[in-house]
Structure 1
Amino acid sequence: MTVSEYLKQNTAEYHDAAEKLFSSEKIFNRTFTLEDYKKIIRTNYLMLLNSEEEIFSKLSERFSEKLQLDDRKKLSLIEEDLKSLELKRSIASHELILANESEALGAMYVIEGSTLGGNVIAKQLSKTDGFDEVTFNFFGCYHENTGAMWKDFKEVLDTEITEPHYDDVLSGAKKLYTFLLNVN
């Protein structure tokens, strides 16, 4: 089993909890409101504010190049969404601390996965009444390259991470999911 399969299998309950928290089913039956969207943006902003630097600082130079880390920074994009939605910047009620590089990669798995899902959300909401003026800077960050960026990320993980490190990677993913689900 690859580490990406291991992560998918062992974080499914967290993923489902996040979808429930953000009322994801409303996105597809077109009852999602601008207030619902603001909640997703505010929560993801707090997640990125407290994780992006923590993740990137733990990754070695080899991952910086292989993962094109400069192209994966999203905090400034979600800050643009905050501004366009007239949401105030805030701070999280607790902080995220990652122990090592493997945990950082696990946390990054959650963020990159949310980007993949976010692309679907952006496409769906752009067809929903009330979202004509919304710019999807964060959710649309990779544009037509979303699938390729996700594939590249998983490929690097699956190639570089050996089984003895699977639990640390999973620990980082669970830390970030727990942070996301409890931040306010």
Structure 2
Amino acid sequence: MVSEYLKQNTAEYHDAAEKLFNSEKIFNKTFTLEDYKKIIHTNYLMLLHSEDKIFNSLHDKFGDKLQLEQRVKLPLIEKDLESLALENQKTSQRLEVNNEHEALGMMYVIEGSTLGGNVIAKQLSKTEGFDEVTFNFFGCYQENTGPMWKNFKEVLDTEVSEENYNEVLSGAKKLYTFLLNVN
């Protein structure tokens, strides 16, 4: 199953992202609004430079199977930027999506961040200093977070054959590398 292959082969990238964003501070309630602004700004740049490219790289069959219209996150994170009074900035870093399999690997990173983001939103909503924060991006699927993740993994595992695992992994690593270096 490609989802397990991705999980195993991107663990170090996932851990590096958690370290970059000071994730341990979320659970010991020392995460600050400045920490949150950093995580939103970095995820915004990732989505700005990847979301359209990913969706445009996927064949039509994925539109319905993955409910792509419900997975659009850029407008949501732009609302978060606005509410945090952050500017929409660009980056000089380039990101290319070479094929559909890379696009699916990149989606794995984004959908995984949505899964983790739901946990982050719940935790921060109980943290002092976050009373006024609206979690548009991290709370995008609300109570449907689990089913949306499950659907994504099922489509991935059903549609990707083993000979394409490395291309999917390449896309995931590419987007993680972008995220980790974008600042």
Q: Shorter-chain-normalised TM-score: which range?
A: over 0.9
Alignment of 1:33-48 (within 5 A): 33-48=32-47
Task: Give runs of aligned pairs for residues 150-169 of structure 1, distance below 5 A.
Answer: 150-169=149-168
For residues 27-66 of structure 1, what are the structure 2 equivalents within 5 Å?
A: 27-66=26-65
The answer for the alignment partner of 1:183 in structure 2 is 182
2:94 is the alignment partner of 1:95 = yes
TM-score (norm. length: structure 2) = 1.00
Q: What whole-Å deviation, never above 9, does each CA across 1:133-168 have from its counterpart, x for those lacking one?
A: 000000000000000000000000000000000000
Q: Structure 1 CA distance, aligned partners of 2:97 and 2:90? A: 18
Amino acid at match of 2:133: V
Q: 2:116 & 2:52 partners in 1: Cα distance?
A: 22
Q: Could you tell me how far 1:93 is from its partner in structure 2?
A: 2.4
Deviations 1:19-68 (A, max 9, x none): 00000000000000000000000000000000000100000000111000
State the partner residue of 1:174.
Answer: 173
TM-score computed with the length of structure 1 as normaliser: 0.99
Task: Tell me how far 1:95 sits from its aligned partner.
Answer: 1.4
Q: Take 2:143 and 2:117, find their aligned partners in 1: how far apart are those partners? A: 13
Question: Is 1:146 paired with 2:134?
Answer: no
CA RMSD of aligned residues (A): 0.3
The answer to whether structure 1 residue 131 and structure 2 residue 130 are counterparts is: yes
Letter of the 1:50 partner, please give it: H
Aligned equivalents of 2:18 and 2:132: distance in 1?
24
Instruction: Give 4+ residue runs of structure 1 displaced > 3 Å after superposition.
Output: none
Distance in 2, matches of 1:123 and 1:29, equals 13
Structure 1 residue ranges without an equivalent (≥5): none
* Distance in 2 of aligned mates of 1:86 and 1:16: 29
Partner-residue secondary structure (3-state), 1:44: helix
Q: Which runs of 5+ in 2 are unaligned?
A: none
Corresponding letter in the other structure for 2:135: F
Percent of aligned positions that are identical: 77
